[in-house]
């Protein structure tokens, strides 16, 4: 099924969601914006799909506990970071421009550069 191709193992995906849910709000907002963007890249297989999310959770748990500013994590061009990240798990993919905008705005909300909503 396509959905399992995108999220991989459902149980591990739920665990991933729970980990993101425990992050401080700003980091959660950023991680969710990136997750949404990553959904547009079709992973190579189920294992790649789920490890992509687990690695994302691990990165954000690490930087949240270090207190690293989100901008230092994602850089000035979050789409580039996310695409670089996605490249590890996919063999190709397509991202519509509106999704680029959505990711940029999600990061701006997370870093307080934009009003929520």
Partner 1 sequence: MGKRTTEMLKGTLEGVVLAILAGQPAYGYEITAWLREQGFSDIAEGTVYALLVRVERRGLVDVAKVPSEKGPPRKVYSLNDQGREYLEEFWAAWRFLSERLEQLREGGR
Residues that bind partner 1 (CB under 8 A): 55, 58-59, 61-66, 68, 72-76, 80-81, 84-85, 87-88
For the bound state, the minimum distance from the C-beta of residue 39 to partner 1, rounded and expressed in Å, comes to 17
Residue 2 CB partners (closer than 8 Å, separation 6+): none
For the bound state, the minimum distance from the C-beta of residue 26 to partner 1, rounded and expressed in Å, comes to 15
Please, are residues 102 and 37 in contact by the beta-carbon 8 Å criterion?
yes
- Measured from the CB atom, is 76 or 97 closer to partner 1? 76
Distances in Å between the Cα of 54 and the Cα atoms of 46, 70, 89 are 13, 18, 12
d(CA 41, CA 19): 22
- Measured from the CB atom, is 3 or 75 closer to partner 1? 75
For the bound state, the minimum distance from the C-beta of residue 65 to partner 1, rounded and expressed in Å, comes to 3
- Measured from the CB atom, is 3 or 69 closer to partner 1? 69
- Measured from the CB atom, is 75 or 112 closer to partner 1? 75
For the bound state, the minimum distance from the C-beta of residue 88 to partner 1, rounded and expressed in Å, comes to 5
d(CA 99, CA 7): 18
Distances in Å between the Cα of 45 and the Cα atoms of 1, 9, 42 are 12, 11, 8
């Amino acid at each position: 099924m396509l959905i399992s191709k995108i999220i991989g193992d459902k149980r591990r995906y739920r665990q991933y969601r729970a980990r993101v849910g425990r992050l401080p709000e700003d980091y959660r907002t950023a991680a969710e914006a990136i997750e949404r963007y990553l959904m547009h890249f079709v992973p190579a297989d189920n294992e790649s799909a789920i490890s992509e999310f687990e690695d994302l959770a691990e990165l954000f748990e690490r930087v949240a506990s270090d207190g690293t500013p989100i901008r230092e994590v994602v850089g000035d061009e979050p789409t580039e970071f996310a695409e670089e990240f996605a490249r590890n798990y996919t063999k190709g993919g397509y991202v519509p421009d509106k999704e680029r905008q959505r990711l940029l705005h999600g990061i701006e909300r997370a870093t307080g550069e934009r009003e929520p909503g």
